[in-house]
């Protein structure tokens, strides 16, 4: 797997939604024409499964994908994430099994100055 996106968490990421780069719309499962969101599964750094909902704006040119609602906030709370912690999103494209998504939550260990998966 290749790290495709890293982001240090902000207050908005912790309390409501996690903004994704627009380029991720190319790798996420397609959003149905009549809808503005798609659900998909990911594994974390410890191979636990999580389900997220990604939505886009219904109007305007910039579609701005975000992870939101119950799945994302459950992940944040379970991992005990705070502002300044980091998220790493990886993906592996596989023509036979489909794209596999992984999300890793990381906290900085200040003693050794390394990011550690939580």
Residue extents of the structural domains in the chain: 2-117
Closest CA to 103 of 32, 50, 64: 50
Question: For the segment 12-65, what is each residue's pLDDT rounded down to a tens digit?
Answer: 999 999 988 888 777 777 777 667 888 888 999 898 999 999 888 776 667 788
What pTM was computed for the model? 0.84
pLDDT surpassing 70 at residue 1: no
Beta bridge partners of 106: 86, 117
Superfamily of domain 2-117: DNA-binding pseudobarrel domain (2.40.330.10)
SS3 of 5, please?
Answer: strand
- The continuous run of DSSP H or E covering 19 comes out as strand 17-19
């Amino acid at each position: 797997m290749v790290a495709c996106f890293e982001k240090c968490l902000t207050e908005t990421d912790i309390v409501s939604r996690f903004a994704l780069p627009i380029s991720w719309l190319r790798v996420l499962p397609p959003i149905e024409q009549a809808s503005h969101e798609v659900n998909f599964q990911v594994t974390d750094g410890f191979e636990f499964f999580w389900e997220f909902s990604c939505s886009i704006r219904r109007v305007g040119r910039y579609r701005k994908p975000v992870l939101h609602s119950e799945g994302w906030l459950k992940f944040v709370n379970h991992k005990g994430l705070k502002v300044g912690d980091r998220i790493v999103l990886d993906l592996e494209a596989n023509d036979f099994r489909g794209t596999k998504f992984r999300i890793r939550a990381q906290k900085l260990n200040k003693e050794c100055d390394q990011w550690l998966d939580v």
